[in-house]
Copies of this chain bind each other. A is one copy, B any other.
């Protein structure tokens, strides 16, 4: 099965809002969602496993991949498809050793040095890189300023790994971001804050060139 990261939603209970996480994902799935990352820095492990289990049931049979942010143990306990690790999370080689080969690992890498280091890892250590913020964003309080499209394109071209861009992507600018060579666009607000998450997800995919750059997993 190809790993399709093109429409990648990052979501947690706070972002689910009144509609809720499950209903948001269900709607986004109708619009072509391909991946979900559950991110919640406040929930207990037990709460995360329970919520991830509910997401798994919603996603069953859709082909949409489920990632857990940061917590590999939660991802494994919940039977998620993978984990997304930041630079201050578990080391990806240690994570790969714990999780085994049939598990997806994403890594945030937003500088040339981080991307060079990630690209030099043994094949099969990391499945994709997350690059951002693409544009200025207010969703993540401590995010640095946006890289801009030229820098994102340069970073993408520096690795054979598929890259997912995140940060400040909106209905207005999404189409322009595909020109950078990204394999996927990750968003929080564009889908969670939309009146119609299905339409927002479809909008995210406008401008995607076919075939998307992705690895068979």
Contact = CB atoms under 8 A, between A and B. Distances in A.
Where chain A touches its partner, the secondary structure class is: helix
B88 A47 contact: yes
A95 B98 CA distance: 13
A180 to B, nearest CB: 28
Contacts of A91: 46, 49, 77
A88 B44 CA distance: 6
Interface stretch (A24-32, A67-75, A109-117): A67-75
A215 interface: no
Interface in A27-67: 44-47, 49
Contacts of A88: 44-47
Assembly stoichiometry (copies): 2
Contacts of A77: 90-91, 94-95, 98
Nearest to A88: B44
Nearest to A50: B91
A45 B76 contact: no
Given A95-B77, A98-B77, A70 B45 contact: yes
Interface of A: 44-47, 49, 70-74, 76-77, 87-91, 94-95, 98
